Structure 1
Amino acid sequence: MSNLFVVLLLIAIGFMIYSFIKRKWKFGIIALVIAFACYMIVGLLPSNNQHKEKEITQSSTKTSKSSSKTEKSSSEDSSAVSESSEVKKVNNSFDLTNNGEYQFTDANIKPTTAKIKNNVISFYFDWRNDDGVADKRSFLGSGVVVVLYQNGKELNQKSSDLSGEKQKISKNTSLEINYDYDLIDNSPVTVKMIPLDGDSKEFVINI
């Protein structure tokens, strides 16, 4: 639009000069007025450069916002991956009494508590000696093995010297046993109790 008025301005100026030379004062004055009007209109209209600069600025702003959102999303994804691949070092305690009791040939196991501290899970359970032959027996001698898994991988059992598994107790009496295992990640833990005879039994701890 501004280009049209520039052309009209140039034509008006040319006609004005021609009119004054030919001493046609009336036409010269009319051309002067038209030229002045075109000059004022051209001055008020925004130039193409200003319009382009505005478009470039808006485009740059949109690009900057889009880049910021992408970086934020990438940062959140990276944080989520980091949390899922490492065990959170928090202290948690889980009540396992709702899991009931698990009866085996010569032993009864009742899960009580699981505690997590510094990437280690401690599994506590009451073992009752149901042996029908020996007067006294240890949990180790009962033949039941307790194994923990995460995603199908067996957890490393730490030293069991303080677990109480070697302590012998009389028939029909109970003793608390606890085992410590190194966690792999934050996935659910499967507790599997495997006897010498009979079927194994298991349950899951959602940590």
Structure 2
Amino acid sequence: MPRETPTYALLPCALCQFETASGDDIVISSCFHSACLDMVDLEDELYLLRFVEAMRYKRQPNLLQKEMRRHHLITCLSAGLLESFAQQGTHLPLELWNKIAEHLLPHYASANARSLWRRIKPEPVRMTEDIWCKYVDFEGIRYITKLSNSPSDGWELIYRPSGESIKYIFTAENHLGVISLLFSTSSNEPQVDEAPGIWWRTVHVKGEDLALRERIDACSLLFTCP
């Protein structure tokens, strides 16, 4: 009986999150595109592991989310290429730059993520004071990246004490990070419109201080309550 040819499922690149394909140069041990690994340029192995964890999808995005991400990256990259090369005297139609951008997407996605990635020190946030939020726009989506009782320019006020103790925090998350926070004095779920690819998580707050340990990436938050 003839033996069937085995098939293999290729994992997406851990840096750009685009699918690997036959013929791609990859680093097998961690499933990186070799070019993506060059783009992030993190020689310290610990930093690289933290960056990979920051970019890891917590859930699989649906097909619409994948297509929206792809379209956004192509639009941004092709516009940047058109402007940059026009300044050097090279004028090509946008449609052609779109085609070129499609071939550069993994490299561009990795470089873009690396440009935003920062190490963030944990900071306790007191529930007895105003809480301010800093957002970051990443691949066309606005994520919460930092909370503080002491705002800086561009921060938004998301909570002001009313006298009642906050018991729960509801976090709206997609496959990569936290996009919204709601504070509540009860465990009743907030009345919000459902959105594809968005999940709500409940965090029980104990005591007056909420200890937030912000993730090393610029896109999401993890909560630890004392």
One fold, TM greater than 0.5? no
Q: Point out the structure with the larger helix share.
A: 1
TM-score range normalised by the length of the shorter chain: under 0.3
Normalising by structure 2, what TM-score?
Answer: 0.21
**When the two structures are superposed, what TM-score results if normalisation uses the length of structure 1?**
0.23
If you compute each CA radius of gyration, which structure gives the higher value, 1 or 2?
1
